[in-house]
Structure 1
Amino acid sequence: MFGVIVSGRPVLTDVQTISQTQFAFTLPATPSFSHLVVFLLPGTELPPDTAAAVYVQLPGSPEFKLLGAIANEKPSAIFKVNNKAIGIYSIINDDDAMADESAAAPLSNGAAGNVMLGISVEPAALVAENLAQMKAQAAQPSSGLELVKRPLGSSPVPPKVLAQRIIKNAFNFLASFAGNGPGGSEVVPLKSFQDWWAKFEKRIERDPGFLERGDDD
């Protein structure tokens, strides 16, 4: 159902089935790499209103961290993986992941063990929510992946408040795209989340301080 490509290595399709909705790949940490591609195999489709969340567990780490997701509307994505254990997902723009390879140090040649890649088929709305939360966490200055540049002299906004504002912004945008799913539940196409993020990034570029002010769309 899924395939993985690590630069310089054969294509991997021998996925380990953990359950009906959970899958895993084992990737040797050596030789070093900094990018990988996850994709749906040709002729394969996910169930309606679902997406495949991609997680990574690096050598020596007990936890899996969310990298991003793929879906029927986005059947492949390129991800950065480095020694700091946080992958920067590129579901919105694959070109971002290929820009300046030196910006993210690859997994060290001295890293022992394996990189575990987990794939979980989940409701698309839940995946979109988790991606929004991941983006909010990445926006925190301490992460080194700051999305929002705080105006000089302004007071820092607590990370929880900043995350709430980003999620609220996403909810307000995505609410208009909600449709009826199985059992009458509301579902949102993953592409709508992609459209929201593209719009959100543009606003950040135009007005970096709008989240700190608590402005709404």
Structure 2
Amino acid sequence: MFGVIVPGKMVQTELVQISENQIVCNIPDHENVHHIVVFLTGQTPIPDNYGAAIYLSWPGSGSEQSWTLLGHVTNEKPSAMFKISGVKPKESGNGMNSVAMSSTCAQLGIAIESAAEIYNQTPASNTVPSNLANFQEFSFKMCENLFNYISSFSIKREQIHFAASETFVPMSALQGWYKNFLRKIDNDPNFWKS
């Protein structure tokens, strides 16, 4: 029913069933894993009004295994990519049972749960990868559009008819701002948040 992709590794489709509605798989070399993709294979759909909650457990979390909710997949959303770098489990009661696991592997758990339960759960912060490339592309296009729009109104000095209510900005100032903005977003795409 499910497949798991760890970048740089073979696709995992043979997961271990630990109960009627729970399966797990080991994530070896977890220190070097930053993202995990979970998807439905299409062979068997999830039952109506249900979904699959995706959990992660790190090794060395003590005698009791704790799980961190990453998110979910459903028939309507058959795949998801989760950012796991920096996510550490919190002690919490949740839908995954404790299972014996290697002290060297992280473990991914998938639990079939009702849609109501899944939609009421809050995944761990920073587990969904950002759309940084989309944001950068949007920023470039927005700035380019602004620059082209303002440039379309440019006139030569001798064509200027001064009106008391208007202010003029030299095109060189706009060009300088545009170059500075592009440099800043290349260096730190989140500079605008500070």
Aligned mates of 2:120, 2:31 — CA distance in 1? 34
- Letter paired with 1:78: M
- Structure showing greater radius of gyration is 2
User: How far apart, CA to CA, are the structure 2 residues paired with 1:34 and 1:4?
Assistant: 14
| Pairing partner for 1:76 from 66, 72, 79 | 79
Q: What do residues 26-70 of structure 1 show as CA deviations (whole Å, max 9, x unaligned)? A: 110257110010011123200010010000001212311100000
TM-score, normalised with respect to structure 2: 0.53
What SS class does the counterpart of residue 52 from structure 1 fall into? strand
Is residue 28–residue 114 contact of structure 1 (8 Å, CA) maintained in 2? Answer: yes
Q: 1:30 to 1:63 in 2, by over 3 A?
A: closer
1: CA distance, partners of 2:30 / 2:84? 13
Alignment of 1:32-181 (within 5 A): 32-61=32-61, 62-85=65-88, 113-131=104-122, 134=123, 138=125
C-alpha contact (below 8 Å) 1:29/1:59 kept by paired residues: no
Look up the SS of the partner of 1:11 in the other structure.
Answer: coil
Q: Secondary structure at the match of 1:8?
A: coil
Amino acid at match of 1:16: V
Give CA-to-partner distance per residue, 1:181-208, whole Å, 9 cap, x none. Answer: xxxxxxxxxxxxxxxxxxxxxxxxxxxx
**In structure 1, distance between residues paired with 2:35 and 2:78:** 17
Give the letter aligned to residue 88 of structure 2.
A
2: CA distance between counterparts of 1:30 and 1:56? 11
Deviation of 1:113 after TM superposition, in Å, equals: 0.5
Distance 2:50 2:114 in 1: 4
Q: Secondary structure at the match of 1:18?
A: strand
**Kept in 2: contact 1:15–1:25 (CA 8 A):** yes
**TM-score, with length taken from structure 1:** 0.47
Structure-2 separation of matches of 1:29 and 1:59: 11
TM-aligned CA distance change 1:20 to 1:5, over 3 Å: same
Structure having the higher helix fraction is: 1
Paired residues of 1:2 and 1:39 also in contact (CA < 8 A): yes
In 2, Cα distance between the equivalents of 1:80 and 1:31?
13
Report SS of the residue matched to 2:56: strand
State the aligned residue count.
111
Q: CA 1:16 to 1:42, structure 2 compared with 1: closer, same or farther past 3 Å?
A: same
Instruction: Report SS of the residue matched to 1:128.
Output: helix
Q: What is the one-letter code of the residue matched to 2:110?
A: I
Q: Following the alignment from structure 2 to structure 1, what is the Cα–Cα distance between the partners of residues 16 and 110? A: 10
